[in-house]
């Protein structure tokens, strides 16, 4: 899928510049405090001015950030649209720690069959140049399940569950692989799936509002995708441009043998760190909060 949104957003370089200036100013003020001195008043004024400019740039970014088609429901054919950071990894989509696997999806494109938005992100051999997280996000680390696209067998083997795979470019150098699960009959909440770039599942307890259901789990990831296509469990959107749902044959599947990490990894401060790959499904850890 070709994306061209040039001119829609304020310059990425300008936002990066403002964020870097704010961070440098914070460090300068901290140094004064460590030495037992009060930072000069002009530093506070400069910080307030930069903070307002950075907030306005973030507001414009979020307001004008485009919706991206990531999937289509195999049961009702409804298109699945998501506001996702396609211009840079310096986008809050990549930094959120938790979700219910559906909240990132545009409200008017949700359907009753959508179970979870998952995905992979290939760096395509590039070193991430985005050195810091957006200041409006408390988490400073991106956590990704893999570079190569995959499925979670535990999830895909749930009754009536199928997955749809797609791809789109990010920052003109990375490749995102959304993997969206749909079920004709929704599984019980305890079968929750950790969403794309997330570490926790968080949602209201089914039938128990306002109790919040919080869960963590590790699922084994399968990169040998041909068998899932052959079983009719894995579909994909046509990457040539018409974005129709395709069910086979396996020879036409475009995501066989995609190169890249087949293990989780993190990005922090522009540095990539490999994590151990889950080989078996982990026992879910759940807590309830009021």
How many Cα atoms within 13 Å fall on the side-chain side of residue 286? 14
Instruction: Evaluate whether 147 touches 121 at the Cβ level (below 8 Å).
Output: yes
According to DSSP, residue 191 is labeled: G
Mean pLDDT throughout 195-222? 87
Return the exposure string of 114-129: e unless at least 16 CB atoms fall within 10 Å of the residue's CB, then b. Answer: bbbbbbbbbbeeeebe
Task: Flag whether 7 is in a domain.
Answer: no
Question: Residue 53 has what pLDDT?
Answer: 83
- Whether residue 210 has pLDDT greater than 60: yes
Are residues 88 and 123 located together in one domain of the fold?
Answer: yes
- Three-class secondary structure of residue 215 per DSSP: strand
Pair (39, 100) in one structural domain: no
Q: Which segments within 104-228 are labelled E, that is strand? A: 114-122, 142-144, 161-165, 168-170, 174-183, 200-204, 212-216
Q: Are residues 76 and 46 in the same domain?
A: no
Q: Are residues 32 and 20 in the same domain?
A: yes
Residues 36 and 89 in one domain: no
**Residue 70's closest CA among 101, 24, 33?**
101
Give mean pLDDT, residues 209-229.
91
CA 118 to chain centre: 7
226 falls within a domain: yes
Residue 148 lies in a domain: yes
In the block, residue with structure tokens 């907030």: 55
Q: Do 147 and 263 contact (CB within 8 A), yes or no?
A: no
Same domain, 19 and 151: no
Tell me how far apart the alpha carbons of residues 91 and 139 are, in angstroms, rounded to a whole number: 12
Instruction: Provide the domain limits for residue 31.
Output: 12-63
**Is residue 15 very low, low, confident or very high in pLDDT (cuts 50, 70, 90)?**
low
Task: Verify that 149 and 244 share a domain, yes or no.
Answer: yes
- The model's confidence at residue 9, banded by pLDDT at 50, 70 and 90, is very low
Does a structural domain hold residue 265?
A: yes
Check pLDDT > 60 for residue 12.
no
Give the mean pLDDT of the chain.
Answer: 87
In a domain, residue 283? The reply is yes
pLDDT tens for residues 127-141?
A: 887 655 555 556 788
Q: Residue 4's pLDDT is what? A: 38
How do residues 167-179 score in pLDDT, each as one tens digit?
A: 999 988 999 999 9
265 - beta bridge partners? 144, 274
Strands 161-165 and 234-237: parallel
Verify that 129 and 249 share a domain, yes or no: yes
Look at residue 3 and tell me if it is in a domain: no
CB 54 within 8 A of CB 135: yes
Q: What is the rounded average pLDDT of the residues 263-276?
A: 92
Answer yes or no: do 125 and 46 share one domain. no
Residue with tokens 């919080």: 214
The residues with which 216 forms a beta bridge, in sequence order, are: 285
Residues 45 and 82 in one domain: no
**Does 259 lie in the same domain as 210?**
yes
**77 domain-assigned:** yes
Name the domain count of the chain: 2
The verdict on 52 and 79 lying in the same domain is: no
The answer to whether residue 55 is domain-embedded is: yes
The lowest-confidence range among 35-39, 43-47, 91-95, 197-201 is 91-95
Cβ-proximal residues to 102 (8 Å cutoff; 6+ apart), any chain: 110, 114, 115, 116, 117, 195
Which of the listed residues 45, 63, 81 is the one where a domain comes to its end?
63
């Amino acid at each position: 899928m070709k994306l061209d949104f040039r001119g829609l957003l304020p310059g990425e370089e300008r936002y990066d510049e403002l964020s870097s200036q704010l961070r440098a100013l914070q460090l300068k003020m901290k140094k004064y405090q460590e030495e037992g001195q009060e930072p000069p008043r002009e530093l506070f004024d400069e910080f307030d001015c930069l903070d307002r400019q950075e907030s306005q740039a973030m507001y414009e970014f979020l307001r004008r950030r485009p919706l991206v088609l990531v999937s289509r429901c195999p049961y009702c054919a409804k298109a699945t649209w998501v506001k996702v950071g396609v211009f840079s990894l310096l986008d809050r989509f990549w930094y959120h720690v938790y979700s219910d696997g559906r909240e990132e999806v545009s409200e008017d494109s949700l359907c009753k069959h959508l179970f979870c938005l998952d995905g992979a992100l290939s760096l395509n051999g590039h070193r991430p140049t985005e050195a810091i997280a957006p200041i409006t996000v408390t988490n400073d680390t991106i956590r990704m399940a893999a570079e190569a696209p995959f499925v979670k067998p535990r999830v895909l083997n749930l009754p009536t569950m199928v997955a749809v795979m797609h791809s789109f470019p990010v920052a003109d150098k990375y490749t995102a692989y959304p993997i969206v699960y749909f079920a004709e009959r929704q599984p019980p909440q305890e079968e929750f799936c950790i969403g794309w770039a997330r570490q926790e599942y968080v949602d209201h307890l089914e039938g128990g509002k306002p109790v919040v259901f919080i869960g963590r789990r590790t699922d084994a990831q399968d990169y040998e995708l041909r068998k899932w296509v052959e079983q009719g469990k894995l579909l994909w959107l046509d990457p040539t441009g018409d974005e129709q749902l395709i069910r086979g044959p396996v020879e036409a599947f475009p995501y066989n043998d995609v190169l890249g990490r087949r293990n989780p990894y993190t990005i922090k401060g522009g540095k990539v760190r490999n994590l151990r790959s889950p080989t078996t499904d982990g026992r879910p850890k759940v807590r309830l909060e009021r």
